[in-house]
A = this chain, B = another copy of it.
Amino acid sequence: MVDTLELSLRGFLVRGLPSICEGDQLATMIEERADLQDGDVLCIASTVVAKAEGRQRSLKSYEPSGLAMKLAGPLNKDPRFVQAVLEESKEVLLTHPFLLVVTNFGHTCVNAGIDRSNVPGDEQILLLPRDPSASARQIRNVLSRDCAVIVTDTCGRPFRCGVAGAALGCAGIAPIRDWRGQEDLQGRTLEITLEAVADELAGIANLLMGEADGGTPVAILRGLSYPREGGDLFWPDEKDMIRRHLRPASARPPV
Contacts and interface: CB of A to CB of B under 8 A. Distances in A.
Contact of A234 (B34, B160, B197): B160
Nearest to A93: B245
B195 A97 contact: no
B195 A242 contact: no
Contacts of A34: 2-4
25 contacts: A4-B13, A5-B212, A6-B11, A6-B12, A10-B10, A94-B241, A97-B241, A108-B159, A117-B184, A117-B188, A120-B186, A157-B157, A159-B234, A159-B235, A159-B243, A161-B196, A162-B175, A162-B196, A163-B192, A164-B200, A203-B203, A207-B224, A211-B224, A211-B225, A246-B246
Interface of A: 1-7, 9-16, 19, 32-35, 94, 96-98, 100, 107-108, 115-120, 154, 157-166, 175-177, 179, 184-186, 188, 190-192, 194-197, 199-201, 203-204, 206-208, 210-212, 214-216, 220, 224-225, 231-235, 240-243, 245-246, 255
